[in-house]
Amino acid sequence: MFISSAFAQTAPAAGGDMQSTLMSMLPLALMFVVLYFVMIRPQMKKQKEHAAMIAALAKGDEVITGGGLLGKVSKMGDTFIGLEVSPGVDIQVQRSAVIQVLPKGSIK
């Protein structure tokens, strides 16, 4: 009376197991694709643009550094640049510290 009948269950077919595995991996693959297009690809593009800007630096360019210094490029080196922050005051900063090149005449 209180015991319900037990029903036998059949084992899933061998081909169905492979299909369910692929279907369970699909959301993970889709998440990776979305992550690539939303985060990884734009970051790589930004890094390439920054590297091109650093490579194109020339004497006389007006720049802003990562520390907030504003100046004009006075000397060029492989890893360092001379930055004139005021008349007669030159400092050395790493090329990679430059975050933006300003239009000519921005610094007065």
**Which CATH number goes with the domain that contains 91?**
2.30.30
User: Are 96 and 73 in a shared domain?
Assistant: yes
Locate 5 and state its tokens: 């009948």
Q: Which residue has the tokens 């939303």?
A: 38
| pLDDT exceeds cutoff 80 at 50 | yes
Number of domains within the chain: 2
pTM of the entire structure?
Answer: 0.69
Q: CA-CA distance, 51 to 53, in Å (whole number)?
A: 5
pLDDT for 14 equals: 54
73 and 51 within one domain: no
What is the pLDDT averaged over residues 88-94?
Answer: 96
Residue 41 resides in a domain? yes
pLDDT at 107: 86
Residue 2 lies in a domain: no
Domain with 77, as residue range(s), is 58-108
CA-to-CA distance for 71 and 94, rounded, in angstroms?
13
Q: With respect to residue 82, please indicate whether it lies within any of the assigned structural domains.
A: yes
Is there a single domain that holds both residue 102 and residue 82?
Answer: yes
Distances in Å between the Cα of 107 and the Cα atoms of 42, 69, 82, 87, 96 are 31, 12, 16, 12, 21
